Structure 1
Amino acid sequence: MKALVKNGKKRTNVRLASFNGKEYHMILNKQRYLCRNCDCTCGAHSDLLIKNHTITNQVKDRILDLARESFTLSSIAKIVGVSPNTVSRLLYDNINLPSRCSRLPENLCFDEFRSVGNIFTFIAIDAETHHLVELIHDRLSKTIVDHFINKYSLSERQSVKSVSIDLNANYQMVVRRIFPNAQIIVDRFHIVQLCSRALDQVRIGSLKNIKDKHSRLYKALKSNWRLYHLPLAEVDDKNVEYVFGINEYTTIQNVIDIGLDQLPVFKEVYDTYQNVQQSLENHNINLLRETICGYKKNGTAMDTSISTLRKNLKHVENSCIMPYSNGPLEGTIGKIKKLKHNSYGFRNLDHFLKRITLI
């Protein structure tokens, strides 16, 4: 004689996934059973439902898909047709942050981003696959060093060949401490940005010294400042077009020459900026080394920029030799900023990091 016998049915209103914006429900009669040995009851289970829930796995998958698209909790709740608390419970209670990745990649990218309040969170990704490697709750050097040393063995850390960073000196110390065999790569964008800002400072300083605010020189430096940031390959010296600002028909090269011919110091800074930009674009390490080492100070902001590059010359040269950069990491941080913007910020750091892992 069987101990488990049927003991009626329980009527359950099951929430199904929506495909056209409308809510769909299924009335499910779940079979109940009685055990004659212990007088305990139990119910039948289905792969369609989450155990002890009236929500199907289809709804759960739909919630996770919308969360990966950076929707807010309230927006997901309205689309799926459940409460925001249900969405929060499915997202945050069922997701655990990994303590470490399964294997350290050979090439890494390091950076940080503002997460909750004034807290900056450290992030590392694989430079080749762009997969997330680490999320650490703050960017302090001690925290980063302790995390990698405690979570990864020395042999794992020795397998890392390169780390791409910005011009943050603290990260250089961190890389040397935890990855003894890794080459440090200074991101090419930050190198060009450093020289570009120095060029703008010299240009603005020259504008302040020009008394005639209606002269061709002032208009060329003021209204057409973007032309001085163009790579040499994009500067047109043949086609004549109407140039706003100076309001003349001329070539782009002639507009640039207006500022360079009358301001010798500005021309030196401009040539230095173009040489750095051209050497990085063409992977010309000889031109880069010649530009940085052969630079002569002229009392402008470019002196500080070149001095910074000269201190990090070996790491800057690696940016010419090796193909990796922080571009993929900046794209990842852009997605994180989009999530933070859509959600009007986060108050709980743990919830924020879990949403990032979903993306």
Structure 2
Amino acid sequence: MSVTLEAMHNSPLKDIAERHTISASSVQRLIIEANPNLLGNQCNHLPEHLFFDEAKTVGEGYSFVMMDSRQHQLLEMLPSRLTKDLERYFERFSLAERQRVKTIVVDLNAAYISFIPQLFFNAEIIIDRFHLVQMPNRSVNMIRTKLMNSFDKRSKEYRKLKFNWRLILKCANALEWRHPTYQVHLRYYETQLNVVPSY
């Protein structure tokens, strides 16, 4: 009882676990047992616009999250994100209920994209813009890191690549090119445009 009372005050799971000398996953289990609607069997009908994602849960790995993409309301959180488990879950909704769904926003998870057309015949799949932007950012960072590590750690090139990663990800038009500012890692004044290496 005291575990769930502490959880109501937004105390971190790890802190509650230490105070009660139990594991963080046990704290999570007790919270879910006290509030069964937090996990599974909460959603009775599907809105027209859905959002699928996953969230890291203590002791359980990743859980499947379903939200109403228009109302930004959490509808369901399932302990498994395996395709077979998700198919079984959505099959409990009638065909008419599933046909009402117009759009489903997802990240680039191929598993979600593969089962959606089989269950939601009228739903248009929309890739979340955040993940589309994240992909090229990760790719640029990987190339930057690889190039950075090819230089000596004491070199100017290494320092430019290491400390200016935010500027490298910026659009060239957004870089300051008129007013130099002091660049600590280079120890002189320079514009953002000139600091970004061009290889």
1:252 aligns with one of 185, 192, 196: 192
Whether contact under 8 Å (1:242, 1:249) holds in the other structure is yes
Q: Which residue number in structure 1 is paired with residue 19 of structure 2? A: none
Q: Which residue number in structure 1 is paired with residue 89 of structure 2? A: 147
Aligned residue identity for 1:207: M
Q: Which residue number in structure 2 is paired with residue 204 of structure 1? A: 145
Deviations 1:147-205 (A, max 9, x none): 1111x111111111111111110010121122111111222222222211211221222
**Residue 115 (structure 1) shift:** 2.6
Q: Which residue number in structure 1 is paired with residue 71 of structure 2? A: 129
Q: Distance in 2 between matches of 1:89 and 1:115?
A: 14
Identical pairs, percent: 32
Equivalent residue of 2:54, what SS? strand
Deviations 1:34-53 (A, max 9, x none): xxxxxxxxxxxxxxxxxxxx
The answer on 1:229 being equivalent to 2:169 is yes
Considering only aligned residues, what root-mean-square deviation do their CA atoms show, in Å?
Answer: 3.2
Aligned residue identity for 1:129: Q
The answer on 1:190 being equivalent to 2:131 is yes
Q: Which residue number in structure 2 is paired with residue 302 of structure 1? A: none
Whether contact under 8 Å (2:172, 2:193) holds in the other structure is no
What are structure 1's unaligned runs of at least 5 residues? 1-59, 76-87, 264-359
**Residue 66 (structure 1) shift:** 6.2
Aligned residue identity for 2:161: L
Structure having the larger proportion of residues in helix: 1
Alignment CA distance shift 1:160-1:68 (3 Å) = farther
**Residue 241 (structure 1) shift:** 1.0
The answer on 1:172 being equivalent to 2:152 is no
Alignment CA distance shift 1:170-1:72 (3 Å) = closer
**Residue 211 (structure 1) shift:** 5.3
TM score, norm. by length of structure 1 = 0.45
1:89-108 correspondence to structure 2 within 5 Å: 92=33, 95-97=35-37, 99-108=41-50
Structure with bigger RCO (C-alpha 8 Å, 6+ apart): 1
Equivalent residue of 2:52, what SS? strand
**Residue 89 (structure 1) shift:** 9.1
**Residue 118 (structure 1) shift:** 4.5
Alignment CA distance shift 1:169-1:212 (3 Å) = closer
Deviations 1:233-283 (A, max 9, x none): 531112221112122212111111xx11xx1xxxxxxxxxxxxxxxxxxxx
Rg larger in structure = 1
Moved beyond 3 Å, runs of 4+: 63-69, 71-75, 88-93, 208-213, 231-234
What are structure 2's unaligned runs of at least 5 residues? 17-28
**Residue 214 (structure 1) shift:** 2.5
Q: Distance in 2 between matches of 1:170 and 1:157?
A: 18
Number of residues of Structure 1 aligned to a counterpart in Structure 2: 184
